[in-house]
């Protein structure tokens, strides 16, 4: 759609912007669970010696590499995770900017320009939240309310304005009302499905299987992406969590599995590939089921 040099140029910009945002996400991951009053004040400082960092100590990716992963002033080692989160965010920005706007996937290519930009904005917002949630959940085993609540409130309004990620509710002719209802439904299906599993888990195992943070996170994601996406994300997270959880149990003997990172991974996949996943399951499986039902003389109508 765009000329090739322009695509390459925008890709580079997306990566640079992603690295800068990743640097900010590092600050969020550090400060939000530690109860800082503000994310912006006081300015960036070394957490060991307290020296305020100069602008050239704060250049994403580059500063860490040029300083060899240590504070310029007190030489304390700065964990390489700061670097990896900046690189990860840059890669995610490139991936979503390309697949939604620059070299769009069929679903996004079919959208008018304004909706495409909106879809990209929501995707970038969710990418940032998912990165922050993942690392805070790994570190502290919590998902802070100050991340989830604003999103849960914001989602229905934005979905009413532009219901790009939501399935059209067939009985409603107004797409905006449909977007609003689908978002509210997504909040309840997303949060409710996890809450339900938590209640069942507690009844069977006698201890909390699911944190309330996970429930709120899924309410947020369901609100933005719709009830159908919420179910797909939950399913993907369970599959992923089971596989990686077994490995982690063998390697670390740690029985606790934070669920947030798996939900985050499921969200980032479903965001782009919902149509493909739906065609894999809901569209193929009913056909198979209806064939079988056909054998028994019942026509399911697919």
Applying CB under 5 A, does 70 fall inside the site for Zn ion?
A: no
Our finding on whether 78 is near Zn ion (CB under 5 A) is no
Nearer to Zn ion, 32 or 71 (CB): 71
| 80 contacts Zn ion (rule: CB under 5 A) | no
46 near Zn ion, rule: CB under 5 A? yes
Instruction: For Zn ion, give the closer residue by CB, 48 or 281.
Output: 48
Determine the interface stretch with Zn ion among 19-27, 64-72, 279-287, 288-296 (rule: CB under 5 A): 64-72
Q: Which C-beta is closer to Zn ion: that of 49 or that of 146?
A: 49
Instruction: Give me the least distance between CB of 78 and Zn ion, in Å please.
Output: 9
- Residue 74 makes contact with Zn ion by CB under 5 A: yes
Cα–Cα distance for residue pair 199/98, rounded to 1 Å: 41
Got the DSSP string for the chain?
---HHHHHHHHHHHHHHHHHHHHHHHHHHHHGGGT-S-SSSS--B-TTT-PBPPGGG--TTHHHHHTTSB-TTT-PBPPTHHHHHHHHHHHHHHHHHIIIIIS--HHHHTS-HHHHHHHHHHHHHHHHHHHHHHHHHHHHS---HHHHHHHHHHHHHHHHH--TTSPPPTT-S-HHHHHHHHHHHHHHHHHHHHHHHHHHHHHHHSS--S-HHHHHHHHHHHHHH-HHHHHHHHHHHHHHHHHHHHHHHHHH------SHHHHHHHHHHHHHHHHHHHHHTTTHHHHHHHHHHHHTT-----
CB-CB neighbours of 89 under 10 Å:
26
Q: Assess 9 for contact with Zn ion (CB under 5 A).
A: no
> Which of 29-37, 63-71, 190-198, 287-295 is the region at the interface with Zn ion (rule: CB under 5 A)?
63-71
Per CB under 5 A, 212 contacts Zn ion: no
> Does the protein bind Zn ion through residue 73 (CB under 5 A)?
yes
Q: Interacting stretch for Zn ion, rule CB under 5 A, among 35-43, 74-82, 222-230, 269-277?
A: 74-82
Task: Report the site for Zn ion in 97-116 (rule: CB under 5 A).
Answer: none
Contact between 58 and Zn ion by CB under 5 A: the answer reads no
Answer yes or no whether residue 48 interacts with Zn ion by CB under 5 A.
Answer: yes
Shortest distance, position 50 Cβ to Zn ion, whole Å: 7
- Please, what is the minimum distance in Å from the beta carbon of residue 24 to Zn ion? 20
User: What is the closest distance, in whole angstroms, from the C-beta atom of residue 83 to Zn ion in the complex?
Assistant: 17
Q: Which stretch binds Zn ion (CB under 5 A): 70-78, 155-163, 170-178, 184-192?
A: 70-78
Contact yes or no for 6/78 (Cβ under 8 A): no
Minimum CB separation of residue 47 from Zn ion in Å reads 8
Is the N-terminal amide bond of 42 cis, ω within 30° of 0?
yes
The residues that touch Zn ion, with contacts defined as CB under 5 A, are: 46, 48-49, 71, 73-74
């Amino acid at each position: 759609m765009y000329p090739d040099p322009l695509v390459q140029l925008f890709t580079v910009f997306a990566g640079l912007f992603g690295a800068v945002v990743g640097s900010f996400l590092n600050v969020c991951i550090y400060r939000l669970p530690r109860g800082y009053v503000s994310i912006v004040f006081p300015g960036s400082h070394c957490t060991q010696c307290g020296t305020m960092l100069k602008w050239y100590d704060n250049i994403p990716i580059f500063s860490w590499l040029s300083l060899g992963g240590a504070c310029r002033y007190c030489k304390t080692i700065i964990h390489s995770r700061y670097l990896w989160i900046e690189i990860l965010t840059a890669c995610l920005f490139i991936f979503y900017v390309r697949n939604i706007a620059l070299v769009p996937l069929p679903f996004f290519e079919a959208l008018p320009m304004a909706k495409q930009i909106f879809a990209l904005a929501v995707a970038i917002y969710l990418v940032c939240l998912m990165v922050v949630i993942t690392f805070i959940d790994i570190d502290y085993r919590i998902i802070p309310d100050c991340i989830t609540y604003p999103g849960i409130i914001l989602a229905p309004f934005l979905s009413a304005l532009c219901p790009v990620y939501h399935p059209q509710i067939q009985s409603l002719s107004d797409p905006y009302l449909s977007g609003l209802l689908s978002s509210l439904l997504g909040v309840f299906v997303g949060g409710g499905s996890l809450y339900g599993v938590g209640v069942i888990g507690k009844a069977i195992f006698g201890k909390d299987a699911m944190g309330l943070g996970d429930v709120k996170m899924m309410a947020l994601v369901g609100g933005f992406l719709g009830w159908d996406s919420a179910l797909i994300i939950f399913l993907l997270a369970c599959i992923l969590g089971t596989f990686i959880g077994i490995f982690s149990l063998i390697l670390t003997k740690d029985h606790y599995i934070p669920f947030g990172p798996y939900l985050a991974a499921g969200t980032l996949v479903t965001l782009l590939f919902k149509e493909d996943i739906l065609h894999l399951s809901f569209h193929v499986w009913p056909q198979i089921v209806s064939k079988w039902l056909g054998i028994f003389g019942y026509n399911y109508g697919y």
